[in-house]
Amino acid sequence: MKHRERVLMALHHETPDRCPMQISFTPEFAERLRADLKLKGQKLHNPHGGGNPYDLEQALGEDMLLTSVGWANSYYLGLEPYVDEWGIGWKPQAYETPFGRGHYTEIASHPLAEDNAILSYRPPTRTARSFTSRRSA
């Protein structure tokens, strides 16, 4: 069964040959998996989430390729806590497994934590080059 057929069947509440899949990995695990699969070429991890290069997703036979503008599920911009252009605070978390060490990010704070925050919240605006924050510092 082709990837598209599998996804469409699932969306139509029909039973495909298997559940459609899309998988994202931490940057460290994606690098290890690329090495195990002997993939060459693009190694850039999407820092905005959904982070695998497409050659890795294709090599794994994923049914959907995740793309995003802005953040999808987490940022991987560094190892120190930071606030993104939407006002969301991110906190990197270290992990250790028998296979290695790495990090993932968790949301630590968000600008709409209080009910009345919506009254003063200003999302970033799109410019020709990137998103910029309109929030006052």
pLDDT (tens digit, 0 to 9) for every residue of the chain, 137 residues total?
999 999 999 999 999 999 999 887 777 788 888 889 998 866 555 554 555 667 888 889 999 887 665 555 556 667 788 888 788 888 888 888 887 888 888 889 999 999 999 999 988 876 544 444 433 33
Can you read off the two tokens belonging to residue 103? 């990090």
Please give the pLDDT value at position 132.
Answer: 42
Please give the pLDDT value at position 11.
Answer: 96
Please give the pLDDT value at position 75.
Answer: 62
Alpha helices in the chain (DSSP H): 3-11, 27-36, 54-59
Please give the pLDDT value at position 23.
Answer: 85
- If residue 93 lies in a helix (H) or strand (E), which one and from where to where? strand 89-97
Q: What does the DSSP 8-state code read for residue 123?
A: -
Report yes or no: 72 and 88 within 8 Å, Cβ to Cβ.
no
Please give the pLDDT value at position 69.
Answer: 59
Residues contacting 86, CB < 8 A, separation 6+: 70, 71, 111, 123, 124, 133
Report yes or no: 10 and 18 within 8 Å, Cβ to Cβ.
no
Please give the pLDDT value at position 111.
Answer: 94
Residues contacting 17, CB < 8 A, separation 6+: 1, 6
CA distance 76 to 72: 11
CA distance 110 to 98: 33
Report yes or no: 22 and 44 within 8 Å, Cβ to Cβ.
no
